Amino acid sequence: MSGEWPLWEVFVRARRGLSHTHVGSLHAPDATLALRNARDLYTRRQEGVSIWVVPASEITASSPDEKDAFFDPAADKAYRHPTFYQVPDGVAHL
Amino acid sequence: MSDPHPTGDLAEYALRLGDDALVAAQRLGEWAAKAPEMEEDIALTNVALDQLGAARLLLSYAGELEGAGRDEDALAFLRDDREFRNCLLAELPNRDFGGTIAKLLFLAAHQRLLYDWLVASTDERLAAIAAKARKESAYHVDHAAQWTVRLGDGTDESHRRMQAAVAEVWPYTHELFAADDLTRRMDERGVAPAPATLRDAWLATVEPVLAEATLDRPADGWAPGGGRDGLHTEHLSYLLAEMQVLHRAHPGAKW
């Protein structure tokens, strides 16, 4: 039956103030049961206070083939980090 | 006190609730590694473990009240079927997945209402156990209701099976609301509710689920009972044989 039930990605917020974090995936026939399955699979040990489930088919992901074009150009642009810049003397409110 | 055996009454009452939970846990546990989906496998065994947790607390309390040195293990593993006080509903075979869901819906809906009431019991220990178990029961009801709707309002085949399961199990729900001398004394002392007073709320839980699931609510009629007196269906002995064999073969065996 797993072939028939769609895949869902699960995001859990560990506690208030933190972001939801991807924790894994599961199969479920619909969103309501996906949420319940997520509760049983991923919050058994008090891992969270909030759950999101997202149909895996709805996620658009970057491709490993595009990795070089996507991410490598950022590697030699150290000026994008705030630490690259020296704070001039006498600037009180930067 | 007018009641000559107050402690004995309480022990017997705790035994009833504990046995309901224990037998339900054992039945649900039969789905481990066999449920239709891995996710559902975990969900059902989660429910089973909740039931087992409540059973341990209740049986331990019953053993303490009895004062004969029997702990939860002695009560769970060393009694015969005639000494078990669970309702017949809990011991019925699972049949198919729909049958399991029908039983869970009816039993858990009752447990939730009962635990909700017991939170205000004059017996503090029962009240504390109920306070822990009621949240778990609420989830059990939700899980069973979700599946009842999906199976009842699903395919022709799932509807047919779910309707058959509901019809088969319904008569056994009457025992949950049957009174006897013990429940009358518990009611008088404010320990537990008169069982019949929970039925309206139970119907208010169950009937909308059946309606949403496009399932017929069976007519009330035949009302088998006897579980509270130790008179069980043939199915309980087989369940106990499997549950108890290890402990009886290796007394005191530990993990």
What does the alpha-carbon distance between residue B132 and residue B221 come to, in Å, rounded to a whole number?
35
A26 with B39: Cβ contact below 8 A:
yes
Runs of H (alpha helix) within chain B: 6-29, 38-66, 72-77, 88-91, 97-118, 124-152, 156-169, 181-188, 199-212, 235-249
Closest to B36 in 3D by CA, of B125, B99, B91: B99
> Chain A: which residues have CB within 8 Å of chain B?
1-2, 5, 26-29, 32-33, 36-37, 40-41, 44
The per-residue pLDDT for range B182-240, each reduced to its tens digit, is 999 999 999 999 999 999 999 999 999 999 999 999 999 999 999 999 999 999 999 99
At A3 the pLDDT is: 59
Residue of A1, A32, A44 with shortest CB distance to B37: A1
* pLDDT at residue A71, rounded to an integer: 87
Local mean pLDDT, 10-residue blocks, chain A (94 residues) = 81 94 96 95 92 96 87 86 85 78
Write out the two tokens for A42.
């991923």
Set of chain B residues whose Cβ sits within 8 Å of the Cβ of A41: 39, 42
Residue A82, token pair as written in the block: 């705030």
- Look at chain A and count its residues: 94
Residue B127 in this model has a pLDDT that exceeds 60: yes
Q: Read off the pLDDT of each residue in B90-104 and give the average, rounded to a whole number.
A: 97
Q: What is the CA radius of gyration of chain B?
A: 18
pLDDT mean over B94-116 = 97
Distance CA(B94)–CA(B104), nearest Å, equals 10
Six-digit token string for B106 = 């009816």
Instruction: Return residues 147-166 of B near A (CB < 8 Å).
Output: 150
**pLDDT, tens digit, 9 for 90 and up, residues A57-81:** 999 999 888 888 888 888 888 888 8
Q: Which residues of B114-144 are buried (b: 16+ CB within 10 A; e: fewer)?
A: bbbbbeebebebbbebbeebbebbbbbbebb
Please list, in sequence order, all residues whose beta carbon lies within 8 angstroms of the beta carbon of residue B205, skipping any fewer than 6 positions away.
B109, B112, B113, B141
Segment B144-189, tens digit of pLDDT: 999 999 999 999 999 999 999 999 999 999 999 999 999 999 999 9
Q: Are B129 and B10 in contact (CB under 8 A)?
A: no
Sequence-ordered strand ranges (E) for chain A: 7-13, 20-27, 50-55
pLDDT for position B3: 46
For the entire predicted model, the pTM comes to 0.90
As a whole-number percent, the residues of chain B with pLDDT over 70 amount to: 98
User: Count of CB atoms within 10 A of residue B46's CB?
Assistant: 19
Number of Cβ pairs closer than 8 Å across A and B? Answer: 29
Spell A24-49 as b/e; 16+ CB within 10 A means b.
ebbbbbeeebbebbbbbbbbeeeebe
Where do we find the tokens 């996620």? A59
Give contacts of A36 with chain B, Cβ < 8 Å. 43, 142-143, 146
Categorize the per-residue pLDDT at B18 as very low, low, confident or very high, splitting at 50, 70 and 90. very high
Q: Mean pLDDT throughout B41-55?
A: 97
Mean pLDDT of B14-41: 96
- Closest Cα of chain B to A37: distance in Å? 6
pLDDT given at position B6? 64
Chain B residues in contact with A26 (beta carbon < 8 A): 39
Asked if residue B42 has pLDDT above 60, the reply is yes
For residue B150, which residues of chain A lie inside 8 Å, CB to CB? 29, 33
Chain B neighbors of A33, CB-CB under 8 A: 146, 150
